[in-house]
Structure 1
Amino acid sequence: MRRLIGDILLPRATAVALWAWVAFNLALIAWVGIQSLKDSRDVWLHPFALPTTPRWDNFSSAWQAAEFSSAALNSVVLTAFGAVLIVAISAPAAYVLARSSRRVAAPTISYFAMGLSIPIQTILVPIVVVKLSVYTFMEDWVTGWWDNRITLLVFQVALSVPFAVFVLTGYMRSLPHEIEEAAEIDGAGPLRAFVQVIMPVARPGLTTVFVLNVMGLWNETLLALLIAPLPEERNLPAALLGLYSSMQYSSDWGGMFAGIVILVYPMIVLYIWLGRRIVDGMTAGISR
C-alpha cells in the first residue's frame, strides 16, 4: 500500500499541485492586465469583471506620472550592459575552472557557490559606504564628476557573477574535450579555440545565463534605491514605487496597474519566447 502511494499517488499529487500553482500565477498575471484597463471605480466595485470600456489612457498617464521615459532608458542601458559584462566575465572564468586540473579549482567553485548564499541585506551598509567613497573620490580627485548609475552597474555585475560562473562551470564541464583537441590539431591556440569553438558550442548555456541575468537586472529594486536614488537615475522598479506613492493619493488605481504591466509584461514575453532555451541550457550539463 505504501509503495502504491509512493509510486502512483505522490507523483500525481505533485503534478496537480504544480499545475494549480501555474494556473494561479497565470490567472494573477491576466487579472493585473485586466485591471490596467479599468478606471478606479471599476477596480474597486468590479474587481473580477471585464472592463466595460478599456482605458488605454491609463498607460499614458502612468508613463507620464512616473517619468517612465528616463527610467525605461536607464533600465534598458543598465540591463543590456550588465548582462553582456556578466557573460563576458563569467564565460572565461567558468571555462578555466571547468578545464583546470589544479587543486584550487574545486574550492574556487565552492566559493562562488557560497557567494549565492549571502543575502544582499547583510552587505547593504558596506555597499552604501563604498558608493559614497567612490562618488567622493571620483568627484573630488579624479574627474570632477561621477554618475551613481556607473556604481550601480558595477555592483550589479559583481553580485551577479557568482551565479553565472557557477551555472556556466557545470555547463562547460559537459562539453567534450575532443572539440578542443580538434582545434589544437588545426593550429588554434587556447584563446582562439575558446572564442571560435567553445563559445559557439556553449551558446545554450550562455543564452540561459544571459536571459536570467536580464530578468534579474531588469527587476533590481533595492540596489537601485540605495545607490541611484535621484529621479533622473531611477530604473523602472524604483520609478514604479514612486508611481505607487503618487497614485495612492490620487486614487488612480488603473494607472497603478498599468505601471505594473509596463514593468512586468516585457519579462514575461521574454521568458515565453526563450523559456525553452533556458530550460535546455540549465539541464544540458546534467543530461550529458
Structure 2
Amino acid sequence: MDIDQDYTKNIQISKKTLLIDKLKKWARLTPSYFILGIWSLFTAFTILWVTASSFKSNRQLFKETWKIPTELHFENYVKAWTTVKMGTYFINSTIVVLSALVIVLFISAPVAYILSRVKFKGNNLILTLFIAGIGIPVQLLYIPLFVIMTDLGINNTMFGLGLLYVVVSIPFTVFILTGFFGSIPKELEEAGVIDGCSDFQVYWKIMFPLATPGLITAAIFNFIWLWNEYQIALVFINNPDLRTLPLGLYALSNAMQYTGDWVGLMAGVVIIMVPTILLYVILSEKMIAGITMGSVK
C-alpha cells in the first residue's frame, strides 16, 4: 500500500514538474512570439495596404486612405509599366539577376563541395577567406572596382553589373553551400565510387541532386538580395535605359514631387514585390528543408 502511495505521489510530482517547466518555457518564449507576431501583422498590413492603394485613384487615396477600393484602377499598372518604363527596368533586373544567379550557383556549388568533402592542406584557410569576404563592406570596394571596370570598358553595362553581382555573391553562397554538402552522408559518396563513378560523376549525379534543397535556399537568398539591390546599380549604372527596378522606383519616387502620382508609385512597389513573394511562396517548403539540412552535420 505504501509503495502504491509513493508511486502515485512521484507521478504527481513529475506532472507538476513538467507543468512548471512548460510554464517557464512559455514565459520565456512569449515575449519573442509577441514581438514576431506584431511584426508579422505590421508587415502583412503594409503589403496589403500598398497593394490596395495601387488600385485606387489619387483622389481616392487621400480621401479614403484606409478603405478598400470600390473601383479597381488597373491603368496605374499600365502607366507604371509603360510610361514610367518599369517594364524596361523589370526586364533589365530579370536578365541581370537570373544570369548572375545561375553563374553564382555554377561556380559556388563545386567549390563548396570540394571544401566540405575533400581534405587538403589549406582547406580551412580557403574557407576562412570566403567567410572573411562576407564581412568586407562592398562600399569600400566602389572606387577600385569603378577604376578597374572603367579600364576594362565594362562600366555602365549590364554585363559589368552582372559580373559585380556574381563577385559579391560568391563568398556567402560558398559558405552556405559548404554546410549543405557537409551534411550529406559520406556513405553515399563511397557507394558511387564503388559503382565505378568518377569524381565528377559522384558530384554531378549523386551529391548535386541531393544538395538541391540547399541550392534552392542559396538561390532564394541571393535572388531576394540581388533583386532589391540598389547601391551597386546606382554607382555603376548611369544610362537610364539600363536601370534596374530599384533604380527605376527611386527615379519614380523623385518624380512624385512634380507629378503627385502616388498610386503609380504604389503600383511600382507592387511590381517589385510580386516576384520575391511568389518565389518564396512556391519554394518555401524546399527552402525550410534546405535550412534544416544545412544545420545538421
Cα offset for 1:6? 5.2
> How many angstroms apart in 2 are the aligned matches of 1:248 and 1:118?
37
> How many angstroms apart in 2 are the aligned matches of 1:277 and 1:287?
16
Q: Which residue of 2 aligns with 1:30?
A: 48
* 1:93-172 → structure 2 map (5 Å cutoff): 93-135=111-153, 148-172=157-181
Give the structure-1-normalised TM-score. Answer: 0.91
> How many angstroms apart in 2 are the aligned matches of 1:13 and 1:220?
33
The residue identity in structure 1 corresponding to 2:40 is V
The residue identity in structure 2 corresponding to 1:67 is K
> How many angstroms apart in 1 are the aligned matches of 2:194 and 2:230?
49
Asked whether the equivalents of residues 66 and 242 of structure 1 are also in contact (C-alpha less than 8 Å), the reply is no
Superposed CA deviations along residues 111-130 of structure 1, whole A, max 9, x for unmatched, are 21121122222222222222
* 1:242-261 → structure 2 map (5 Å cutoff): 242-261=251-270
Q: Which has the larger radius of gyration?
A: 2
The residue identity in structure 2 corresponding to 1:236 is L
* 1:204-219 → structure 2 map (5 Å cutoff): 204-219=213-228
Residue 189 in 1 paired to residue 198 in 2?
A: yes
Asked whether the equivalents of residues 213 and 290 of structure 2 are also in contact (C-alpha less than 8 Å), the reply is yes
Superposed CA deviations along residues 60-94 of structure 1, whole A, max 9, x for unmatched, are 11112321232121111111111110100000000
The one of 19, 22, 28 equivalent to 2:37 is: 19
The one of 52, 58, 70 equivalent to 2:70 is: 52
Please give the root-mean-square deviation of Cα atoms over the aligned residues, in Å: 1.9
Q: Which structure 1 residue ranges, 5 or more long, are not aligned?
A: 139-145
1:287 partner SS: coil
Give the structure-2-normalised TM-score. Answer: 0.88
1:19 partner SS: helix
Q: Which structure 2 residue ranges, 5 or more long, are not aligned?
A: 1-19
> How many angstroms apart in 2 are the aligned matches of 1:121 and 1:66?
29
The one of 98, 118, 128 equivalent to 1:80 is: 98
Cα offset for 1:153? 0.7
Residue 281 in 1 paired to residue 290 in 2?
A: yes
Structure of greater relative contact order (alpha carbons < 8 Å, 6+ residues apart): 1
The residue identity in structure 2 corresponding to 1:132 is T
> How many angstroms apart in 1 are the aligned matches of 2:137 and 2:41?
30
Superposed CA deviations along residues 3-39 of structure 1, whole A, max 9, x for unmatched, are 8985331212211211111111111110110110112
Asked whether the equivalents of residues 87 and 206 of structure 1 are also in contact (C-alpha less than 8 Å), the reply is yes
> How many angstroms apart in 2 are the aligned matches of 1:34 and 1:127?
42
